Amino acid sequence: MKEYLVKPGSTVKLEKIDADETGKYAANKDGKAKAQARTEALNGMLAVLQERLYANGSHAVLVVLQGMDTSGKDGTIKHVMSGVNPVGCRVAAFKTPSTRELSHDFLWRIHAEVPAKGHIGLFNRSHYEDVVITRVHGLISGKVATRRFSHINDFERLLHDTGTTMVKFFLHISKDEQRKRLEARVRDPEKRWKFNPSDLAERKLWGEYMKAYEDAISATSTDEAPWYIVPANHKWYRNVVVAETIVAALESMKLPLPPGPRGVDFKKLKID
């Protein structure tokens, strides 16, 4: 899925990226079925690779999911990670910082949730909230945001240098698609709990959010921690893109299978 990779040093313009795109899959029932079948196959591959990561215990994987409200962060985790052993996988969801968290630097609460070696960690929202939401609402200046971009790059380089492979996804939906999804939440009693009246206020700031995300992604897509902008209007396509990318990241690590205990001759071993 290299076509969705943001090359380091490039400038992102989200309005030029089609959130409706479905790549090699047709935007119809047949294309959806093929993408879902591929995602299921990738789930199986991911389960095997995650077990090897856990058994090896020398590296970790951190997946960052960002996007506007209703972009599908929860759904991505549910569908892409469905085959992974929960013992080796952990999700951290970052909400409004607490008073205690605000008494520390903005990366303090983030570092505490970084996955241990052998594990896959998923951030549902992340440290990028502190250079997007804060900027949109005027809580920090552009100058402070730029300084934080530098801190983030240093932080993510530290993770990379100490054995954590990072993949960061911006789930890109259109404003019209967000409207449809918000309306669906209101209509469905099973989903109304997800609706927050503040979502409507935030929606009015769509343009400001797009600019803040463009700046953040452009400044922090690096060789050590790349961003992928995923067309996410079609949930089934979003899932297959994310799954393909995570599997590729794990495969690129080329982790060996750890040997059995020393001194054991497995060819001669008999278990009565």
pLDDT for 88-140, tens place per residue? 999 999 999 999 999 999 999 999 999 999 999 999 999 999 999 999 999 99
Structure tokens at 54: 């856990």
Mean local confidence (pLDDT), 208-231: 98
Mean pLDDT of 37-63: 96
Assess whether pLDDT exceeds 80 at residue 170: yes
Separation between Cα atoms, residue 126 and residue 47, nearest integer Å:
24
- Considering only 141-150, 225-234, 259-268, which range has the smallest mean pLDDT? 259-268
3-state secondary structure of 93: strand
Contact predicate 230/242, CB 8 Å: yes
Question: What pLDDT sits at residue 195?
Answer: 87
Average pLDDT, the chain: 95
What residue ranges define each of the domains in the chain, with the CATH number in brackets? 2-252 (3.40.50.300)
pLDDT at 169 over 80: yes
pLDDT of residue 181: 95
pLDDT, position 263: 80
Residue 183 pLDDT grade (very low, low, confident, very high; cuts 50, 70, 90): very high
| Averaged pLDDT for residues 201-207 | 96
Closest-CA residue to 82 (of 122, 53, 110): 122
Q: How far apart (Å, rounded) are the C-alpha atoms in residues 202 and 126?
A: 18
- If pLDDT is split at 50, 70 and 90, which confidence band does 2 have? confident
What confidence score (pLDDT) does residue 80 get? 96
SS3 content of the chain, % helix, strand, coil (to 5): 50, 10, 40
Do 1 and 248 form a contact (C-beta atoms < 8 A)? yes
- Asked if 54 and 251 touch (Cβ cutoff 8 Å), the reply is no
Residues in Cβ contact with 228 at an 8 Å cutoff, skipping those fewer than 6 apart: 1, 4, 5, 6, 167, 168, 169, 170, 241, 245
Q: Which residue has the higher pLDDT, 255 or 166?
A: 166
Q: Is the pLDDT of residue 264 over 90?
A: no
Contact yes or no for 121/90 (Cβ under 8 A): yes
Cα-based distances in Å from 259 to 47, 256, 263, 264: 20, 9, 11, 10
Q: What is the pTM of this model?
A: 0.94
- Which one is predicted more confidently, 166 or 259? 166
How confident is the model at residue 261, as a pLDDT? 82
**Pick from 224, 217, 230: nearest CA to 23:** 230
Average pLDDT over residues 162-170: 98
Residue with tokens 């795109």: 21
As a whole number of angstroms, the distance between CA 241 and CA 35 comes to 9
Q: Is the model's pLDDT at 1 over the cut of 80? A: no
Provide the pLDDT for residue 39: 97
Burial of 172 (0-12, 13-18, 19+ CB in 10 A): buried
Average pLDDT rounded to a whole number, residues 163-187:
96
Q: What is the pLDDT confidence band of residue 266, given thresholds at 50, 70 and 90?
A: confident
How high is the pLDDT of residue 258? 80
Residue with more model confidence, 40 or 269: 40
